Amino acid sequence: MFFRWDWLRPQLTAPIVPTLGPVHPDALTVTLFEDTLRVAETGDFLPYDKDRRWGGEKDEKVLRDDVVHQRAHTLIPTLSRRGRGTAKVFAYGLHDSVVEDAAELAAKLAAVHDVVSTRVVRPLGPETTHPRGTRIQLKDFTVGPCPDPGGPVRPVTAWPIAVQETFAPFAEAMAGDGLAFLHTKMQADRCGPVLATAIKDRIVGAIGPMEVLPDAIGRPQLMPQYFAVLPETRGQGLGRILWRAAMHWGQSHGAAYQLLQTEVDGPSDRLCQAEGLTSLGFSHITRA
């Protein structure tokens, strides 16, 4: 075993695992970290990797030989060749100096591997004051019902053809939120259903794909979705209806929970907080 859990566990202020992202606290074990090392050179997906849904080869991989694992802190670097390449270092430790150490390692690895971008990922606990970056939130489907909110929400394929055809321009307009990517997967029939809302026969919001898969310990998880509403139609409660419809779908299809990542103080973040989700901490990413 590479990692000492008695060293690493106290450093995990938020349940974030390199190349996997946020995980349920109950699934946060040394096995997850060991598994990321095991597949680092193969390009394979772990069975519970959320990116496995999209097929192909795993892009981001742990640089096993460059891991720094000490009692005081752990630095786990990853490499991605997407675009012009990114060297990223996950900085686990209770002291702020861990960020400087991680930035130095990221810069070194970027030069060695001839990539352009460098990033440091610092997990922070839920008690963090004045947080920045991304909030990790937990929706637990076992604590209460998620009723159907009603309203103009249905799968894209259940709308009339004329309305379905408006999804393409909507997706293009919301490309920055991942909807253009999602549309390509929908066209290739490579994902689960996508829920959409429409105004005057035009799709103006969507959330999806809707898929439930087992996590690392076998619990059914509603997988992360892309979620967007056209800016000009916000303020009408459509985002809340879409989100509640997605939660109803997840609970109805046997999901035990969902993990969401929301930009701190962004619209989705405020929505999730208003809906009573549990904050598990934060992920603060800086350029090294």
What is the CATH superfamily name and number for domain 143-255? Gcn5-related N-acetyltransferase (GNAT) (3.40.630.30)
| Residue 57 binned pLDDT confidence (cut-offs 50, 70, 90) | confident
* CB-CB contact of 123 with 281 (8 Å): yes
pTM value is: 0.92
pLDDT of residue 86: 97
The pLDDT tens digits for 64-103 are: 999 999 999 999 999 999 999 999 999 999 999 999 999 9
pLDDT of residue 228: 94
| Residue 259 binned pLDDT confidence (cut-offs 50, 70, 90) | very high
State the helix-helix crossing angle for 238-252 and 267-274, rounded to 10 degrees. 60
Is the torsion defined by CA of 259, 288, 18, 129 positive or negative? negative
Give the type of residue at 41. Answer: E
Query: How far is CA 2 from its chain centroid?
Result: 26
Query: What three-state secondary structure class fits 16?
Result: strand
pLDDT of residue 1: 79
The pLDDT tens digits for 120-159 are: 999 999 999 999 999 999 999 999 999 999 999 999 999 9
pLDDT of residue 263: 94
Is the torsion defined by CA of 10, 14, 16, 18 positive or negative? negative
Domain chopping of the chain, boundaries: 5-129, 143-255
| Residue 56 binned pLDDT confidence (cut-offs 50, 70, 90) | confident
Least confident of 39-53, 89-103, 206-220: 39-53
CA–CA distances in Å: residue 190 to residues 53, 117, 131, 183: 8, 30, 36, 10
Q: Which helix (H) or strand (E) holds 205?
A: strand 202-208
CA atoms within 13 A on the CB side of 99: 13
Kindly tell me if the per-residue pLDDT of 288 is higher than 90. Answer: no
Kindly tell me if the per-residue pLDDT of 232 is higher than 80. Answer: yes
**Which two three-digit tokens encode residue 178?**
């991942």
